Amino acid sequence: MNRIEKKEIAPEAAKLFEEEVLQVKPDISRKELCDMVDDYLYYQTDDMSKNEAHAVVDKTCRLGRKH
């Protein structure tokens, strides 16, 4: 995982990270997946607040997953 230097690319990075997690653990619950993506964005993006990370996850995480 690399640092995300610009907030503008955070949504794309979130989707890529989500896909990587799903490859490793395809049966992960939706909540656990979204929580992992949220933490990833918060800790890897320069100058991103928790609220900003939540907003990106709300738009990018696969909320329709049945797991």
Q: Give the residue extent of every domain in the chain.
A: 7-60
The pLDDT, as a whole number, for residue 28 is 94
- As averages over each run of 10 residues, the pLDDT of the chain (67 residues) reads 84 93 94 94 92 90 55
pLDDT at position 62, please? Answer: 61
- Per-residue confidence (pLDDT) for residue 12, from 0 to 100: 93
For the chain, the distance separating the N- and C-terminal CA atoms, rounded to the nearest angstrom, is 25
User: DSSP letter string over 5-56?
Assistant: --GGGHHHHHHHHHHHHHHH-TT--HHHHHHHHHHHHHHHBTT--HHHHHHH
Entry pTM: 0.83
